[in-house]
Amino acid sequence: MPVNLPEIDPNLLSPIQGIKLGWAESNIKQPNRKDLLVIEVADGSTVAGVFTQNRFCAAPVTLCKQHLNAVNERKVESIKALVINTGNANAGTGEQGMADAVATCEQLAEIMNIPVESILPFSTGVILEHLPMDKLLAGLPLAVSNLTENNWANAASAIMTTDVAPKAFSTSLNIGNDTVNITGISKGAGMIHPNMATMLGYIATDAAIDQSLLNDITKEIADLSFNCISVDGDTSTNDSFIVLATGKSGANPINSRKDNGFAEIYNALLETAQYLAKAIVRDGEGATKFLTVTVKGAKSVEEAKSIGFSIGKSPLVKTAMFASDPNLGRVLAAIGYASRECSSLSDLNTDELELYFGDVLVAEKGGRAESYVEADGQAIMNESEIDITVQLHRGADNATIWTCDFSYDYVKINAEYRT
Amino acid sequence: MPVNLPEIDPNLLSPIQGIKLGWAESNIKQPNRKDLLVIEVADGSTVAGVFTQNRFCAAPVTLCKQHLNAVNERKVESIKALVINTGNANAGTGEQGMADAVATCEQLAEIMNIPVESILPFSTGVILEHLPMDKLLAGLPLAVSNLTENNWANAASAIMTTDVAPKAFSTSLNIGNDTVNITGISKGAGMIHPNMATMLGYIATDAAIDQSLLNDITKEIADLSFNCISVDGDTSTNDSFIVLATGKSGANPINSRKDNGFAEIYNALLETAQYLAKAIVRDGEGATKFLTVTVKGAKSVEEAKSIGFSIGKSPLVKTAMFASDPNLGRVLAAIGYASRECSSLSDLNTDELELYFGDVLVAEKGGRAESYVEADGQAIMNESEIDITVQLHRGADNATIWTCDFSYDYVKINAEYRT
């Protein structure tokens, strides 16, 4: 079961004016399962995306980038639809894979009477298998036929693969006298590591946000949310994070960082993205604990993130967490070898740093803290939410990453499931 | 059980003239267990070492480096003894830890009547606990009392921690008309990753090798052996690899790479180091498969090693190997994200590379090879020794790394054992 991930209440997911969602069961991998989602985006919306940096990126990712470029170069007016299938990632599928992604867009373009280049395609699931195009194409009219603003909870279910639970979040804010809504969904449970993880994330708002500004803040928000999580250190071929801004709320448009409401919308989008990113970790394959690792006092954010991930990726730390073992030695060792991946840490003075489990000081001056008694560390480890904090005392930069423990079930799930 | 690791035959381990070994059961962590080893090194031997790059390096590692520097700066004549305890790593132990390491050397110096600085101390085991000095010091005279050239098999047992089996190897070669012997031992099973892994490795030869040359080749050999293995990606606080050359064989000394016999002794030392390094992987915690990942046609050795470790560290690849699942998708994904840690790979063209399981071409042109049928891949995966080869076709450099699979037992061992 996911770690402290509340069930979705469909009534608490706000519809976003200008966004309709429709789903189908098209038997791509399994029968009787929502596996196809179409998102209709109102004319004039701005759309930005961040994609996997895996060199084996999937055909739909390549096509998404081309279509977003076409918008940014004003070759097409705007993005008008997204289409997402699960069960098959259309990755490592060569020329046929690209032809299949194009054919999916072409068919949807015809059904919805919109340009092919205004459609963003996404796939997630098994790698190296060709899409069952007959099933997928047959599902498209079904998905289009039930497009409605009230389908966010169904959409969250429709994009799941090995996820145990759907992931969605809504919030709202005021810009001037107008209320602006934000709703997002995400999926992912394994092969999770930044840049990007095997994850899909979609956030929509009825605020109006300038295209160039939206491009910038989508990247920044991804770096502070989806790029701060790790389940197993693997990075998939298909990861995508998309922000849609329809402008239908009627609130004043946000065209620059100085505009009224910018800080509020930025923070609300970030809150939504962090909730959705953390939800993926909470549903991490086999997870029983949710870990928040905060590194303070670094010389750079890169240093802080390197130490955070060095701890958060260590199988020894993660198995200790699974065992509720307050094993400071493994955490200290992981801090010590972070310099492997961040050369500026090669002069890290381990005598100067402090390590905390929760608010308990467990290590300082290169060893166990004199004040520390194991019962205090054990009490922290017995919780399902564990905070680990490292204070380096060498600079002013901080970072927080989120991860989960490593359990028998992780091995079981990944030894039995064919990605 | 270790994967295809032959049992040690004490009769096949060659004594090395100029090296005597003695052990004791000193109850450091457990009773009735060899946990202390003293190695006496003949006067005039050359000794070189490579140590962990973990910033939390243990007190004995710091002291080893100081004493080796003293030799290299000719402040002491030569290294005359090594002392190794298991059960306690004396790491993260602050000033007391250094005092304990010094006291260990002082006591042994008195017993053996040699300078303190001529002794190299090593510890492995639990982190963050102070050494039980009374037990350790009481064991030293016992270990010294049974020093003999014929104790290599006992020595291999005396340095074990979570190891299931002792690890040792002997070989010999001729330099001119003289026979030169090499014998080595190693330990390690978890927290294994290069630079360095939780491992100790000691190789002795009765060849004579110039000190400066031995320093260089010890580093090179470590990079081609112990720095090419990974069990879980963790790097410990105590790792050390030592090469001892006593010169007692009578063979002509090797003073430069041009000397007669250099290539032979280099290759024999490398063979020994690689055997001992691979033995650690074969005994990897929970291992059921031994993986050899070879990357060819890279632009640099760093590129080749990055891809090798990206595959060899991936929990998804390693759980697939445990399941005997010919999962090319996970291997291709791991190749694709190697650029995360090796920026020169950011222009890797995945359409040009070939992937082999054993001698079966499984992927090319960005996807599954047309000639590939899964039964062929399955046959390879069913073996306990699995070769994965990547041909990048972008340069002339190669690298090979060795790793093992990720099993239920890895989690079990590390959730239950306190390192």
Position B53 scores a pLDDT of 78
The residues facing A122 across adjacent strands are A84
Return the axis-axis angle of helices B315-322 and A408-416, rounded to nearest 10°: 70
Residue B66 at interface with chain A, using a CB cutoff of 8 Å: no
Does residue A250 register a pLDDT over 80?
yes
B173-186 per-position pLDDT tens digit: 999 899 999 999 99
Angle, helices A315-322 vs A328-336, to 10°: value is 160
Q: For B155-163, what is the mean pLDDT?
A: 92
**Looking at chain A, how many residues does it have?**
419
Can you tell me the mean pLDDT for A115-124?
96
Please give the Cα distance from B152 to B158 (Å, whole number). Answer: 10
The more confident residue out of B236 and B327 is B327
| Contact status, residue A404 vs residue A281, Cβ threshold 8 Å | yes
pLDDT at res. A231 = 63
Say yes or no to pLDDT of B359 above 90.
Answer: yes
Residue A198 has pLDDT above 90, yes or no: no
- Mean pLDDT to the nearest integer, B9-32: 95
Predicted local confidence at residue A390, as pLDDT: 98
pLDDT per residue as tens digits for the range B244-292? 999 999 999 999 999 999 999 999 999 999 999 899 889 887 889 999 9
State the pLDDT at residue A1: 80
B356 is written with which tokens?
A: 């082999």
Please determine, for residue A193, whether its predicted confidence score (pLDDT) is greater than 50.
Answer: no
Closest residue, chain B, to A126 (C-alpha) = B329
Question: What is the per-residue pLDDT across A339-371, written as a single tens digit (0 to 9) for each?
Answer: 877 889 999 998 999 999 999 999 998 889 999
pLDDT for A226 equals: 86
- Among A68-72, B38-42, B249-253, B325-329, the minimum mean pLDDT is found in B325-329
Rounded to whole angstroms, how far apart are CA atoms B15 and B17? 6
CB contact under 8 A, B92 and A415: no
Contact (CB<8Å) B128/A332: yes
Question: What's the rounded Cα separation, in Å, for the pair B170 and B152?
Answer: 10
Structure confidence at residue B418 as a pLDDT band (50, 70, 90): very low
A157 interfacial to chain B (CB closer than 8 Å): no
* B232 confidence band (pLDDT: 50, 70, 90): low
Q: Which chain A residues are within 8 Å of B406, Cβ to Cβ? A: 315, 411
Residues of A in contact with B415 (CB under 8 A): 319-320, 322-323, 325
Residue of A nearest to B332 (CA): A56
Report the percentage of chain A scoring pLDDT > 70.
Answer: 95
Lowest mean pLDDT among A202-206, B17-21, B123-127, B383-387: B123-127
Which residues of chain B lie closer than 8 angstroms to A319, CB-CB? 410-411, 414-415
Task: Establish if A314 touches chain B: CB-CB under 8 angstroms.
Answer: yes
pLDDT at B191: 55
Q: Which two tokens stand for residue A87?
A: 């069960």
Task: Tell me the torsion sign for CA atoms B267, B268, B273, B279.
Answer: positive
- Show residues of chain B in contact with A94, CB under 8 Å: 351, 365-367
Residue B136 CA to residue B253 CA, distance in Å, equals 37
Residue A21 is predicted with a pLDDT of 97
The whole-angstrom separation of Cα B418 and Cα A273 is 37
Every domain of chain B and the residues it spans: 10-282, 290-416
Q: Which is catalytic among the residues A86, A93, A198, A292?
A: A198
Residue found by looking up tokens 């939800």 in the block? A279
Average pLDDT for residues B190-218, to the nearest whole number? Answer: 79
Q: How large a percentage of chain A has pLDDT more than 90?
A: 70
| B319 vs A298: which has the higher pLDDT | A298
Chain B residue closest to A351 (CA)?
B94
Residue with more model confidence, A117 or B195:
A117
Task: Write down the mean pLDDT value for chain B.
Answer: 90
Q: Which residue has the tokens 């190897």?
A: B169
Q: B163-201 in b/e burial notation, b at 16+ Cβ within 10 A?
A: bebbbbbbbebebeeeebbbbbbbbbbbbbbbbbbbbbb
* Higher pLDDT pick, A204 / B1: A204
* Closest by Cα among A88, A99, A97 to A135: A88
Residue B56: pLDDT band by 50, 70, 90 thresholds?
Answer: confident
Comparing A10-282 with A290-416, is the CATH topology the same?
no
**For the ranges A325-334, B49-58, B153-162, B189-198, which has the lowest average pLDDT?**
B189-198
Q: How far is CA B63 from CA A302, A349, B51, in A?
A: 32, 17, 11
The ipTM assigned to this model is 0.72
Q: Which of B105, B101, B104, B107 is nearest to B118 (CA)?
A: B105
Q: Which fold has domain A290-416?
A: Ubiquitin-like (UB roll) (3.10.20)
Q: What six digits make up the tokens of B102?
A: 């010094």
Q: Which CATH architecture has domain B10-282?
A: 4-Layer Sandwich (3.60)
Contacts of A128 in chain B (CB under 8 A): 328-329, 332, 363, 367-368
Count of Cβ atoms closer than 10 Å to residue B7 Cβ: 7
pLDDT tier, A419 (very low <50, low <70, confident <90, very high otherwise): very low
pLDDT the model gives residue B105: 98
Residue A191: predicted pLDDT: 55
Q: Which of A235, A316, A412 sits opposite B419 (nearest CB)?
A: A316
Which residues of chain A are within 8 Å of residue B334 when distances are taken between CB atoms? 234
Residue with tokens 């005597």: B20
The mean per-residue pLDDT over the stretch B124-128 comes to: 85
Query: Per the CB < 8 Å rule, is B92 touching A406?
Result: no
Burial-class residue B146 by CB neighbours within 10 Å (0-12, 13-18, 19+): middle
Classify strands A385-391 and A290-298 as parallel, antiparallel or unpaired. parallel
pLDDT tens digits for A283-327?
A: 887 889 999 999 999 999 999 999 999 999 888 898 889 989 998
Whether A409 has its CB under 8 Å from any CB of chain B: the answer is no
Predicted local distance difference test score (pLDDT) of residue B385: 96
The pLDDT of residue A194 is 39
A200: β partners? A187, A240
Return the HEC string of chain B.
CCCCCCCCCHHHCCCCCCEEEEEECCCCCCCCCCCEEEEEECCCCEEEEEECCCCCCCHHHHHHHHHHHHHHCCCCCCCCEEEEEEEECCCCEHHHHHHHHHHHHHHHHHHHCCCHHHEEEEEEEECCCCCCHHHHHHHHHHHHHCCECCCHHHHHHHCCCCCCCCEEEEEEEEECCEEEEEEEEEECCCCCCCCCCCCEEEEEECCCECHHHHHHHHHHHHHCCHHHEECCCCCCCCCEEEEEECCCCCCCCECCCCCCCHHHHHHHHHHHHHHHHHHHHHCCCCCCCEEEEEEEEECCHHHHHHHHHHHHHCHHHHHHHHCCCCCHHHHHHHHHCHHHCCHHHHHCCCCCCEEEECCEEEEECCEECCCCCHHHHHHHHCCCEEEEEEECCCCCEEEEEEEECCCHHHHHHHHHCCC
Flag whether residue B354 sits within 8 Å of chain A, measured between CB atoms.
Answer: no
A146, pLDDT greater than 70: yes
Give the nearest partner residue to A55 out of B53, B350, B412, using CB atoms: B350
pLDDT digits (tens, 9 = 90+) for A37-86: 999 999 999 999 998 878 888 899 999 999 999 998 989 999 999 999 99
Measured in degrees and rounded to the nearest 5, phi and psi for residue A180 equal -115, 135
Which helix (H) or strand (E) covers residue B402, if one does? strand B397-404
Q: Residue B116 and residue B114: Cα distance in Å, rounded?
A: 7
